[in-house]
Structure 1
Amino acid sequence: MLTSTTSALPSDTIAAIATPQGRGAVALLRVSGPDALGVLHRIAPGIGEVRPRAQRLTALRHPESGELLDRGLVTYFAAPASYTGEDVLEIATHGGVLTPQLVLDALLAAGARAAEPGEFTRRAYLNGKLDLLQAEAVADLIDGRSRALHRAAVHQMERGLSRRVSELRDAVIGTEALIAYSIDFPEEDEPPVPPARIQASARDVIARIESLLATAPEGELLREGALTVLAGRPNSGKSSLFNALLGTERAIVTNIPGTTRDALEASVSVEGYPFRLVDTAGLRETGDVVEGIGIEVARRYLQAADLVLFCVEAGRSVDADEAAFMADIPADWLVLVRTKSDAHADALADADREMTDAVTVEVSAATGDGIAELRRALLRKAFGGILGEPGEAPLVTRERHARALRAARDEVAAFLDAMDAAVPMEFAATHLRDAVAALEGLVGAVSVDDVLDRVFGSFCVGK
C-alpha cells in the first residue's frame, strides 16, 4: 500500500454513536484515540484490567455525578490492530434514543471529543490502514442500494481498484526507468533502449488506462442509479408502465388525459442494478397552469435523463411531433415503448420498423407481457459495458477517479507527443512524473486537506 502524505496525525480522542437512532435492541458507540482507555476507566471505574479483543460487561456511569446509565459490553482494540490504527473501544448498550445519547454524553464529559462525519475512517486512512479508494468503498457499502454497487464496493475494499491503479503507476515508473537507462549512456550512437520500445511502453499504459476508464459511465451510475424518465403524450400508458416496473401501485392511473401533474420518482433494482424511474406529465400544449408546470418539470427531467422510455400506444403510428421529439434524443438514451399491446394484436406499426436507431419494445402493463424484455433493454442500455464483467472486476465509480485517470492518460499522451517533436528525453519525461502524481493522488498517497474534506464529509457520524 502506498503511504499517505498529509497533515499531522490527530492526537485527541473522539467518540460517537455508530448505529442509527431509533428503537432497537442494541446501540454501538465508538471511541478512538490515545486516551481511549482513560476515558473508559472514567465512565466504568469498576472495570479493572481490559485486555485487547476480550469483551467485558460493565456498569457505565457519568464521570461527574456517578449516575448509573446502563450496563454495556465493552470491546477494546489496541493500536495498531484496530480499524483506525489507534486504541479503539466499541461499547454496546441497550438501544433506543436516550440510553446511547446519555452514554455518549458521559464519554464526552470523560475527555473525548465528539467525532465529525467520517472521522473514524479518515483516521484509518491517515494511519495507513486504508487507502483513499478503500475509504470511499466504505461509504459505498453503507449508502449502496443495489447488489451491483455492493459487489463493486466489496471488491474495492479488498483493494481491487487500488491494485489496478498501483499496477498502472508501476507501469509508468517502468517507462521512466527505460528512459533513465537510455540517458545514462549518452555517448552511444544507439542507446541501449530503442525509442520505439519506450513509446510502446507508454502506449501500453494509455491502453490500460483507457480500459479502466471505459467502466466509468456505468460505474458512476451504480452509485446514483440510472435516471430513467418515462415520457410521451397524455394517456399513453406511462403511469401504468411505471407501476408495472416497480411492481406496486405508486402512480394514479385513469383514462383522463393530464392526470399526472408532477414528476413521481422511485428507485427500482433490475437484476441487482439500480434505476431511478420518473413518471412525468404528458407532453402536450395546455392552458391549464398546474398541468403546464408539470410539463415544464418533465422537460427538466428529460434534460438530465440517462435513459428515456418514450411511450406510444400500440396500434397507431408514431406521429410527426413524437418522431421529432425522439429525433432530439441520442439513440443510446432512447427506448421506444409500445404500450397497451394487449389491446392491439398488430402492435408494431410500419413506422416503428423504419426507426432503426431506436430500440423498440412492445409491452402490456395489464398482463405483464414484454416487461421482462423491457427490463433487459434497460440493463443493456445503462450497464451494457459491465454486465459481462465478473463481480471482482475493478470499476471506476466516482468522477474523482475518472478525473485522475484522465489526467494520467493525458500526461502520458503528452510525453509521446514530446517524443515525436524530438524534445530531449529528460524534459519529455516530466510528463510521466506528472502521470505518476495523478495516480498517487487517486489512492491518496499524495493528498491535500480539501480533497479529504470532500471525501469524508459525506460519511455518517460514527464511521
Structure 2
Amino acid sequence: MLARHQEPIVAIATAPGRGAVGIVRVSGRKLSSLIEALCGRSLKPREATYLPFADADGSPIDHGLALSFVAPHSFTGEDVLELQAHGGPVVLQLLVARCLQAAAEMDTATGQPRLAGLRVAQPGEFSERAFLNDKIDLAQAEAIADLIDASTEAAARSASRSLAGDFSKEIHGLRDALIHLRMLVEATLDFPEEEIDFLQKADAQGQLNRLQTAVMTVLGKARQGALLREGIKVVIAGQPNAGKSSLLNALAGAELAIVTPIAGTTRDVVQQTIQIEGVPLHVIDTAGLREGEGVDEVEQIGIARAWGQIENADAVLFLHDLTRVGQADYDSADAEISTRLHSRLPASVAVIDVWNKADAAPVSLERTGLNLSARTGEGLQALRQQLLQQAGWQQASEGLFIARERHVQALHRVREHLEVADAHLAAQAQNLDLLAEELRLGQNALNEITGEFSADDLLGVIFSSFCIGK
C-alpha cells in the first residue's frame, strides 16, 4: 500500500452544481477530534444527528445531518464522517475548507493536530480505499462508476448486480475450480515417484473440460455486459441527399439534424445516443461523401471528418437513395464509396446496405440489404433488430451483469491458456510442468478482474476515471 493511502482525505461526494442536499465526506483514522471541532460534540456511530456545522469562530456555516461510521464498518473500511448540508457549491466548498482548517488545528488534549495530513481526495480515492481495505473487489469498484454512468435502465440494473457481487462470484467460482486443478497437477509434479496417477484418478481431464465450458459461459455474459456498458458506434454514410440526417432523426425520434434538399447541408458530425432493448447505440450522421466540382473547402473538411468517423465505427450504415438508383453517375459514385469502405475497414466492421426512400421509389427492387423509409418509418424496426444482431446482442436476462472490455480480454486470455493446457494434459507426463504454468497464467488473468493480482498502474487507470467524491 502506498504512503498516500495512509493519509486522511476529504471531498465533496455529490455532483457539481446546486441541489437540495450536498455531502462532504472525510475518511481516515481516528476522526473523533475532527468531529468535535466541526460538530461541537461527539457522534453516535451510524446515527444521523441534526446540528450546526461550526466555523473556526464558532458561527455556523450551515445546519444539516452528520453521520459517523467507525472502522471497519464503513464504505472505505476506515473511520468516515459525512456532513449532509444544503447543496450549494459555495456552502460545500466552505465545509471542505473548514475540514482542512480544523484538521490542522492543535487538539488541546493531545497537543497534536486534530487530523494530521488531511488533504483533498483524488478522483476515485474513496472507492480505491474500499478496494484496498477489502470492502469490495476491483470488479465491484468499477461497477460503482458504471452504475453512475449508466445510460440505460438495463445498464443500471446490470451494474447494480455487479456491485452486489454477482460478476465477482462467477469469477471466484472459476478461480476456485482452476486452483483445485492446479493443486492436482502440482501434486503430480512434486511426487513423481508415486505410482498413483493423481490426474487420472481425480478426473483432471473432466475438470479441465468443465472449466473450459464454464469460462465460455461467463465470457458470453461478459460480452453482453460490456455491450450494455459501452454500446456500439454506428456511422451513417453515403452520398449527399441520400437521407442520412433524416434517418438519424427517425432513429432518435427528434429533429436533431437539419434536413434540406440542398446537397452538402450536413457539414459536420452530428451524434445522438439512443437505446434499443437497453443497448446504447451511438448513432453518427456524417457529411455526404462526394468529390469533384461544387465541393468547397468547408465541405471537404466535413467529408474528411466523415471518413475519420467511419474508420472508427463498430458498424456502418451505407445509405442508398432508391429514387436515384439506375442513374449512371449516382451508381458509379456509390460503387466508388463501396470500394473505399471495404478497403479501409477491417473485416470485423459490418457495412450494412440500407436502401432509403422506399415510399418514393417508382419500383420496389430486390437488393441485398434493408429497404426503408426514413420519412414514414417503414423498415426502421427491422434496421434496429439487425443492428442488435450485428453487435452480438442477445435478449437480456435478469442475471446479466455489467462488464468492461478489460474483463472480456482477461477472460479471452483465460480461455486461451486453458486451450493450451488441454493440449499439454493430453501429452501426460511429458508436459506437466508446461500444463502447470498455463494454469497459473490462467489464474493470474482471472485475478486481474477482481484485483487479487494487479499492477499499481492498472489501479491508477481504473480509479482515475471516477468522480472526486467516489
Q: TM-score, normalised by structure 2?
A: 0.87
Q: Kindly provide the CA deviation profile for residues 379-433 of structure 1, in whole angstroms up to 9, marking residues without a partner as x.
A: 222242xx224131345x3232123223333333333333445535245312212
Q: 2:149 aligns with which of 134, 143, 148?
A: 143
After TM superposition, list the pairs within 5 Å mapping 1:436-447 onto structure 2. 436-447=443-454
CA–CA distance in 1 between the matches of 2:439 and 2:211?
Answer: 11
After TM superposition, list the pairs within 5 Å mapping 1:253-292 onto structure 2. 253-286=259-292, 287-292=295-300
Query: What is residue 401 of structure 1 aligned with on the other side?
Result: 407
Query: What is residue 157 of structure 1 aligned with on the other side?
Result: 163
- Kindly state the Cα deviation for residue 108 of structure 1 after the two structures are TM-superposed: 1.1
CA–CA distance in 2 between the matches of 1:207 and 1:320?
Answer: 50
- Kindly state the Cα deviation for residue 160 of structure 1 after the two structures are TM-superposed: 1.4
The answer for unaligned runs of 5 or more in structure 1 is: 1-5
The DSSP-based 3-state class of the residue aligned with 2:199 is coil
Query: What is residue 3 of structure 1 aligned with on the other side?
Result: none
Change (3 A) 1:305 1:407: same
CA–CA distance in 1 between the matches of 2:10 and 2:449?
Answer: 29
Q: Kindly provide the CA deviation profile for residues 86-110 of structure 1, in whole angstroms up to 9, marking residues without a partner as x.
A: 1112211112221111111101111
- Whether 1:294 and 2:316 are equivalent positions in the alignment is no
Q: Do the aligned residues in 2 keep the contact of 1:152 with 1:394 (CA within 8 Å)? A: yes
Query: What is residue 22 of structure 1 aligned with on the other side?
Result: 17
Q: 2:397 aligns with which of 390, 395, 419?
A: 390
The DSSP-based 3-state class of the residue aligned with 2:309 is helix
CA–CA distance in 1 between the matches of 2:458 and 2:199?
Answer: 39
Q: Do the aligned residues in 2 keep the contact of 1:185 with 1:192 (CA within 8 Å)? A: no
After TM superposition, list the pairs within 5 Å mapping 1:25-424 onto structure 2. 25-45=20-40, 48-63=41-56, 65-111=57-103, 112-180=118-186, 182-183=188-189, 186-187=192-193, 191-194=197-200, 197-286=203-292, 287-317=295-325, 319-323=331-335, 325-326=337-338, 328=342, 330=347, 333-344=350-361, 346-347=363-364, 349-350=365-366, 352=367, 355=368, 360-384=369-393, 387-394=394-401, 397-421=403-427, 422-424=429-431
One-letter amino acid matched to 1:311: L
One-letter amino acid matched to 1:361: L
- Kindly state the Cα deviation for residue 230 of structure 1 after the two structures are TM-superposed: 0.6
- Kindly state the Cα deviation for residue 181 of structure 1 after the two structures are TM-superposed: 5.0
The DSSP-based 3-state class of the residue aligned with 1:455 is helix
The DSSP-based 3-state class of the residue aligned with 1:275 is strand
Change (3 A) 1:203 1:339: same
- Kindly state the Cα deviation for residue 456 of structure 1 after the two structures are TM-superposed: 0.5
Change (3 A) 1:300 1:311: same
- Kindly state the Cα deviation for residue 149 of structure 1 after the two structures are TM-superposed: 1.9
Q: Do the aligned residues in 1 keep the contact of 2:67 with 2:81 (CA within 8 Å)? A: yes
The DSSP-based 3-state class of the residue aligned with 1:404 is helix
Change (3 A) 1:424 1:264: closer
- Kindly state the Cα deviation for residue 441 of structure 1 after the two structures are TM-superposed: 2.3
- Kindly state the Cα deviation for residue 453 of structure 1 after the two structures are TM-superposed: 0.7
Q: Do the aligned residues in 2 keep the contact of 1:12 with 1:35 (CA within 8 Å)? A: no
Q: Kindly provide the CA deviation profile for residues 187-233 of structure 1, in whole angstroms up to 9, marking residues without a partner as x.
A: 45562432893233223323332333345555433333311101111
Q: CA RMSD in A?
A: 2.5
The DSSP-based 3-state class of the residue aligned with 2:126 is helix
Q: Do the aligned residues in 2 keep the contact of 1:58 with 1:71 (CA within 8 Å)? A: yes
The DSSP-based 3-state class of the residue aligned with 1:429 is helix
CA–CA distance in 1 between the matches of 2:333 and 2:430?
Answer: 57
CA–CA distance in 1 between the matches of 2:370 and 2:120?
Answer: 55
The answer for unaligned runs of 5 or more in structure 2 is: 104-117
Higher mean displacement: 230-239 or 80-89 = 80-89
- Kindly state the Cα deviation for residue 267 of structure 1 after the two structures are TM-superposed: 1.3
Q: Do the aligned residues in 1 keep the contact of 2:238 with 2:337 (CA within 8 Å)? A: no
CA–CA distance in 1 between the matches of 2:144 and 2:254?
Answer: 32
CA–CA distance in 2 between the matches of 1:316 and 1:79?
Answer: 71
Q: Kindly provide the CA deviation profile for residues 271-318 of structure 1, in whole angstroms up to 9, marking residues without a partner as x.
A: 321011110011111342211111111111111111111111235547
CA–CA distance in 2 between the matches of 1:388 and 1:172?
Answer: 30
- Kindly state the Cα deviation for residue 183 of structure 1 after the two structures are TM-superposed: 5.0
One-letter amino acid matched to 1:25: A
- Kindly state the Cα deviation for residue 163 of structure 1 after the two structures are TM-superposed: 1.0
CA–CA distance in 2 between the matches of 1:15 and 1:7?
Answer: 18
The DSSP-based 3-state class of the residue aligned with 1:31 is strand
CA–CA distance in 2 between the matches of 1:184 and 1:12?
Answer: 45
Query: What is residue 111 of structure 2 aligned with on the other side?
Result: none
Higher relative contact order (CA 8 A, sep 6+): 1
The DSSP-based 3-state class of the residue aligned with 2:5 is coil
The DSSP-based 3-state class of the residue aligned with 1:80 is coil
Higher mean displacement: 20-29 or 296-305 = 20-29
- Kindly state the Cα deviation for residue 436 of structure 1 after the two structures are TM-superposed: 1.6
CA–CA distance in 1 between the matches of 2:336 and 2:233?
Answer: 22
- Kindly state the Cα deviation for residue 164 of structure 1 after the two structures are TM-superposed: 1.1
Change (3 A) 1:62 1:138: same
The DSSP-based 3-state class of the residue aligned with 1:32 is strand
One-letter amino acid matched to 1:310: F
The DSSP-based 3-state class of the residue aligned with 1:88 is strand
Q: TM-score, normalised by structure 1?
A: 0.88
Change (3 A) 1:373 1:412: closer
Aligned sequence identity (%): 39
CA–CA distance in 1 between the matches of 2:61 and 2:194?
Answer: 80
